[in-house]
């Protein structure tokens, strides 16, 4: 089999990343936009010793899970890649991938993931757009390309962002080619306009900055916060709590009343300054340090509970202190690697939860609870 060859294939499942998986002569074949239990005609686009990639040319027998996406840009835009599969199936697929990743990479025997579903459309409060300077417009990257395509609507975007896209009326930032927009309720923040503001989460107000990381699905963020609070309530509340990779201190805002003190650590100094604002009047200590520098500070402290929300690369420090560790993960593979290390440090994985922050995409966000 060589690049360019065309053949029929029976697809079996969805693999991590969102491509459908089939096999030809025993070798895995990954097909974009395919669906489980589907017969297709495809063309080989990449061949190596371990696997092949192929493009979908024709669907001979469509999957019972296949649906029509309401987005006119689906398949052109580089964002969503599971919108051709019904939402209930998407959830089951992600839960299966999460569990399989923990087994294969982490060597764990995890419990079945508890699944928290999101509204499948109009959920996304935070989006990044790219400038198209020639026309003074903005858009999203084309699939598998660096080209920017103007997008006049996005069904996964929150109402305020959809209205913005339909109008196209947003000044471009002069100093950036990529910028972030955040919208919730009546609030619209943008790196090309008003950057800072306050939003309502559950029963509290949170200050944020459009230029800083913040979760993109506030509906799911509230569900995550409620679960974190349940976990925190069952820990040793006589000791301080740590909020690591704390961003603007969102988790600490909702957990601080349970503990005598909160320790927050985050590399971004601007985020830490907003966290100070969000936790004003609370007994808290803030560290604006790279995570590789945290051990020299944190290893001198005792915590009963810690929340970590690391980037996709995972933890850069070894944690062996808190009796209970809540790990918010945006990448199943890095979570699995870190889980293996945590188990070697004496922890046990007690619970794994899938929070579907990004419906219509293969992105997997989860919460793992480890106990000593």
Tokens standing for residue 201? 């989460």
Rounded Cα distance between 317 and 83, Å, is: 37
At 94, is the secondary structure helix, strand, or coil?
A: helix
Contact 200, 265 (CB under 8 A): no
Rounded Cα distance between 73 and 94, Å, is: 23
Contact 362, 82 (CB under 8 A): yes
At 230, is the secondary structure helix, strand, or coil?
A: helix
What's the alpha-carbon Rg for the chain, to the nearest Å?
Answer: 22
232, 229, 204, 231: which is closest to 218 by C-alpha? 204
Catalytic residue chosen out of the listed positions 80, 154, 218, 330:
330
Rounded Cα distance between 276 and 118, Å, is: 30
Rounded Cα distance between 51 and 56, Å, is: 16
Q: How far is CA 51 from CA 100, 174, 332, in A?
A: 19, 44, 21
Rounded Cα distance between 257 and 204, Å, is: 13
The dihedrals phi and psi of 297, each to the nearest 5 degrees, come to -100, -50
16, 20, 19, 32: which is closest to 96 by C-alpha? 16
Q: Strands 187-190 and 178-184, how do they pair? A: antiparallel
250, 190, 221: which is closest to 358 by C-alpha? 221
DSSP notation for 265-291? E-S-HHHHHHHHHHTTTS-EEEE---G
218 in active site: no
152, 257, 157: which is closest to 204 by C-alpha? 257
What are the catalytic residues? 330
């Amino acid at each position: 089999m060589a690049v360019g060859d065309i053949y029929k294939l029976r697809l079996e499942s969805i693999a991590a990343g969102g491509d459908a998986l089939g096999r030809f002569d025993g070798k895995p074949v990954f097909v974009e936009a395919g669906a489980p239990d589907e017969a297709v005609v495809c063309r080989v686009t990449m061949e190596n010793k371990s696997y092949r990639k192929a493009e979908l040319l024709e669907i001979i027998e469509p999957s019972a899970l296949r649906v029509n996406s309401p987005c006119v840009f689906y398949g052109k835009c580089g964002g969503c890649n599971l919108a051709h599969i019904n939402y209930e199936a998407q959830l089951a697929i992600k839960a299966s991938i999460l569990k399989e990743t923990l087994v294969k990479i982490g060597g764990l025997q995890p419990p079945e993931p508890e699944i928290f579903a999101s509204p499948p459309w109009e959920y996304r409060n935070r989006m990044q757009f790219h400038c198209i300077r020639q026309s003074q417009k903005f858009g999203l990257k084309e699939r598998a390309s660096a080209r920017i395509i103007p997008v006049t609507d996005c069904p996964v975007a929150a109402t305020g962002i959809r209205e913005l896209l339909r109008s196209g009326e947003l000044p471009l930032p002069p100093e950036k080619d990529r910028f972030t927009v955040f919208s919730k309720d009546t609030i619209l923040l943008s790196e090309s306009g008003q950057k800072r503001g306050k939003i309502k989460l559950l029963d509290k107000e949170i200050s944020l900055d459009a230029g800083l990381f913040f979760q993109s699905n506030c509906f799911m963020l509230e569900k995550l916060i409620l679960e974190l609070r349940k976990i925190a309530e069952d820990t040793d509340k006589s000791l301080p709590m740590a909020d690591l990779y704390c961003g603007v201190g969102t988790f600490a805002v909702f957990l601080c009343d349970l503990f005598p003190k909160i320790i927050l650590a985050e590399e971004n100094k601007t985020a830490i300054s907003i966290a100070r604002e969000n936790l004003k009047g609370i007994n808290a200590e803030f560290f604006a340090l790279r995570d590789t520098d945290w051990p020299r500070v944190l290893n001198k402290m005792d915590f009963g509970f810690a929340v970590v929300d690391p980037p996709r690369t995972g933890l850069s420090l070894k944690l062996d202190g808190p009796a209970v560790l809540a790990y918010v993960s945006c990448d199943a593979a890095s979570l699995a690697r870190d889980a293996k290390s945590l188990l070697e440090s004496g922890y046990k994985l007690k619970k794994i939860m899938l929070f579907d922050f990004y419906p219509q995409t293969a992105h997997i966000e989860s919460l793992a609870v480890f106990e000593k």
